[in-house]
Amino acid sequence: MANKIEKQKGGLLALSIVSIVLGVLSLVGGILLIVFGAKSVSGEVAKGVVMLVFGILLVLLGLFLVPLGLYMLFIGASVKATKGSLKEDNIAINGTVNMKKCKKCGHEVSENDLFCPKCGASLLDKKVCPKCGATNMSENIKCSSCGADLN
């Protein structure tokens, strides 16, 4: 299953292609209107001027849409997301490539979590012994001072 960035990448690529096609069509249509409008100015002045004005507007629109489409195509083609690099549910708020992970199960956790929401393991770097109150490394299963269980 693709993540949200990969899905949105496809949409951006499709939008860029549509923009390029519309831009090219606008350029071609605008140039044709300018050519036929210039020929019509000698006979029907009002019709020729209207064709010239719309032709110029279409050329300007095409000159905007083609570079925009090319830019979006470049951005869409260069976006890369690897599987598991972002949280699937909420990439805008919580998901980052460098999220903190649980040392026991590898689940992505937020910076404020004290315990892993998946396996319940403590996310603190130190463990306090419930029997004697000594500070121990988080990997310890038994207290280094009194030998009591830390789990």
Stretch 90-94: mean pLDDT, rounded? Answer: 48
Does residue 109 sit in the same domain as residue 71?
no
Lowest average pLDDT, out of 41-55, 71-85, 125-139, goes to 71-85
Per-residue pLDDT tens for 28-73? Answer: 999 999 998 888 877 788 888 889 999 999 999 999 999 999 998 8
Residue 89 is assigned to a structural domain of this protein: no
Report the alpha-carbon distance of residue 72 to residue 16 in Å, rounded: 5
Euclidean distance between the first and final Cα of the chain, in Å? 36
The last residue of a domain, from among 29, 61, 78: 78
Does residue 120 sit in the same domain as residue 63?
no
Stretch 74-101: mean pLDDT, rounded? Answer: 59
Average pLDDT, the chain: 81
Residue 130 has pLDDT above 70, yes or no: yes
Tell me the Cα Rg of the chain: 31
Does residue 74 sit in the same domain as residue 14?
yes
pLDDT at 91: 47
Does residue 71 sit in the same domain as residue 110?
no
Residue 148 is assigned to a structural domain of this protein: yes
Residue 10 has pLDDT above 90, yes or no: no
Residue 37 is assigned to a structural domain of this protein: yes
Residue 49 is assigned to a structural domain of this protein: yes
Does residue 113 sit in the same domain as residue 69?
no
Following CA atoms 4, 5, 11, 14 in sequence, which dihedral angle do they give, to the nearest 10 degrees?
-150
User: Does the predicted model carry a pTM greater than 0.95?
Assistant: no
Residues facing 127 on adjacent strands: 136
Stretch 78-86: mean pLDDT, rounded? Answer: 56
* Structural domain of 128: 105-151
Name residue, tokens 């470049």.
Answer: 74
Give the helix, strand, coil percentages of the chain, each rounded to 5.
Answer: 50, 10, 45
| Encoded tokens for 102 | 């649980």
Report for 1-10, 66-75, 122-131: range of highest mean pLDDT: 66-75
Quick one: pLDDT band at residue 3, thresholds 50, 70, 90?
low
What's the number of domains the chain is made of? 2
Residue 30 is assigned to a structural domain of this protein: yes
